[in-house]
Structures are given as structure tokens and as C-alpha cells.
């Protein structure tokens, strides 16, 4: 009987580790036997010490300066903000399009195999809604890059403990929990989903070592996570 060839430990790169999804994803990456090294890139260090963890602290508009420190097999991008948090359309576009696409382009040129990114339900480059249009444009830009596999996650409302209180989201989350049993068939994609579940789904998608571009809606995320 032939022995199975052991898999070579890989390197993961995570952007947005302090966010709602990223904060759940980081410990999962560190616990995964798939990765021997986990690189976190961001403006501030995360308050965590781990033998697998390498932190690259930089402004996200200066990624080129640290290119050689961002070499990884799988890239997880959890960057994102809201119009209210950003304060202007320009600031929102900078985070949700420019920074995401810059990370994708740089890591593709560093020969990363997979790019996994959090987008949003309703992302559409032709949308009249600015938020959805930017998300759609980001997705199109990422899809044009030469990764072996691209996974786009489009969750509905995210559930989880945020650093900043968002009253509107809290009210919507309660309403969606009540309506959840009624959201069947095509409506399943609108179900709220836990941030931890999205994180788990991202890791599982990377572990599958697939190819091509894939879009994951909330119902698929819940099943995968």
C-alpha cells in the first residue's frame, strides 16, 4: 500500500484581522494544521502572541513597501467599512475598493494561489446603490487577477459582537431572527449569518483546494461553516 504524500504546510495572509469576521478568522487560521505561518497585515498590530503569527504593520496604501513580507499561499481579505464609518464616499471607496484590489493585485503578483474576500449581498457593478456598486466593482477587479481560485463571500446581515454599537443592525438582527423560520427557498440567502460562521466557511473553502471563481451567499455560507 502506498503512503499518502503529506501536504506541505502553507502560509495564510489575513487583512482585516481586527474586524468582525477577521477577529473570528484569525484564531481559526492559527489553529489550522494547514498553515505553518499566518501573516496579519494592517495599520495596527493585533494584541496576540502566537508562534505561527507574523504581523506586518503598515498603512494599507503602502503595501508595495512590504511586498516581500506578504508572500502567502492563501489570502483572506476581510477589509470593509460602512458609509457612516468612512465619513464620505471617497473614504469608503478607498477601503472597500482600492485597498482590497491593491492587496489582491500584489498577492497575485507574489503568486498566491487563492484569494478569499468578504463582499456583500447585492453586490453589483451596475447597481444604482453606491455601496452595492462599489462591492460589485471590487469583485470584478478581483476576478480579473490570475489566482487559481477566488472565493467571494456575500453574507446578508452579519451577527456578532462589534466594537462599535450599530443600533440599526441590532434591530434588524432581532427582526431577522424572528423571521428566520419563514425565510425558505430563494429567501434563504437573506438570512442573517454569524460572523464566526462566515470565518469558518472561508477557511473550509481554502482547504478544499479548488479552482475557478465561486460566490457564496448566506445560505451556502451557513451550510459550509
CB atoms within 10 A of CB 85: 12
- Residue 189: predicted pLDDT: 52
What is the reported pLDDT for 183? 47
Q: Report the pLDDT value the prediction gives residue 161, as an integer from 0 to 100.
A: 58
Per-residue confidence (pLDDT) for residue 219, from 0 to 100: 85
Rounded CA-CA distance 179/202 in Å is 26
**The pLDDT value given to residue 8:** 83
DSSP 163-214: SS--HHHHHHHHHHHHHGGG--GGGGGGS-EEHHHHHHHHHHHHHTT--EEE
Per-residue pLDDT tens, the chain, 225 aa: give them.
Answer: 444 445 788 999 999 999 999 999 999 999 999 999 999 999 999 999 999 999 999 999 999 999 999 999 999 999 999 888 999 999 999 999 999 999 999 999 999 999 999 999 999 999 999 999 999 999 999 999 999 999 999 998 888 654 554 444 444 444 445 545 544 545 455 578 999 999 999 999 999 999 999 999 988 898 766
| pLDDT for 157 | 85
As a whole number of angstroms, the distance between CA 220 and CA 25 comes to 18
Report domain extents, the chain.
Answer: 10-224
Q: Give the pLDDT of residue 188.
A: 53
Fold (topology level) of 10-224: Rossmann fold (3.40.50)
Contacts with 19 (C-beta within 8 Å, 6 or more apart), sequence order = 78, 79, 80
Which are the contacts of 225, defined by CB distance < 8 A and separation ≥ 6?
193, 194, 196, 197, 198, 199, 200, 201, 204
* CB-CB contact of 134 with 93 (8 Å): yes
Beta-ladder partners of 159: 194
pLDDT at 168 (0 to 100): 47
- In sign, the C-alpha dihedral spanning 119, 144, 111, 58 is negative
pLDDT at res. 222: 83
Concatenate the DSSP letters of all residues of 87-146 into one string.
-SHHHHHIIIIIIHHHHHHHHHHTT-SEEEEE--TT--TT-SSHHHHHHHHHHHHHHTS-
Question: Residue 154, class by beta-carbon neighbours within 10 Å (0-12 exposed, 13-18 middle, 19+ buried)?
Answer: buried
Amino acid at each position: 500500500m502506498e503512503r499518502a504524500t503529506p501536504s506541505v504546510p502553507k502560509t495564510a495572509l489575513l487583512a482585516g484581522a481586527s474586524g468582525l469576521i477577521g477577529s473570528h478568522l484569525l484564531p481559526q487560521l492559527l489553529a489550522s494544521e494547514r498553515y505553518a505561518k499566518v501573516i496579519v497585515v494592517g495599520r495596527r498590530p493585533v494584541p496576540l502572541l502566537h508562534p505561527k503569527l507574523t504581523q506586518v504593520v503598515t498603512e494599507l496604501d503602502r503595501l508595495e513597501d512590504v511586498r516581500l513580507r506578504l508572500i502567502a499561499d492563501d489570502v483572506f481579505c476581510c477589509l470593509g467599512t460602512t458609509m457612516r464609518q468612512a465619513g464620505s464616499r471617497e473614504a469608503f471607496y478607498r477601503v472597500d475598493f482600492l485597498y482590497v484590489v491593491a492587496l489582491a493585485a500584489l498577492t497575485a503578483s507574489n503568486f498566491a494561489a487563492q484569494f478569499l474576500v468578504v463582499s456583500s449581498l447585492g453586490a453589483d457593478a451596475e447597481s444604482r446603490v453606491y455601496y452595492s456598486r462599489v462591492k460589485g466593482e471590487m469583485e470584478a477587479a478581483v476576478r480579473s487577477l490570475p489566482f487559481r481560485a477566488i472565493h467571494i463571500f456575500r453574507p446578508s446581515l452579519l451577527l456578532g459582537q462589534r466594537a462599535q454599537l450599530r443600533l440599526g443592525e441590532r434591530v434588524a438582527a432581532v427582526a431577522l431572527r424572528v423571521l428566520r423560520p419563514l425565510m425558505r427557498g430563494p429567501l434563504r440567502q437573506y438570512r442573517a449569518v454569524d460572523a464566526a460562521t462566515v470565518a469558518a466557511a472561508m477557511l473550509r473553502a481554502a482547504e478544499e483546494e479548488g479552482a475557478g471563481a465561486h460566490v457564496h451567499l448566506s445560505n451556502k455560507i451557513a451550510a459550509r461553516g
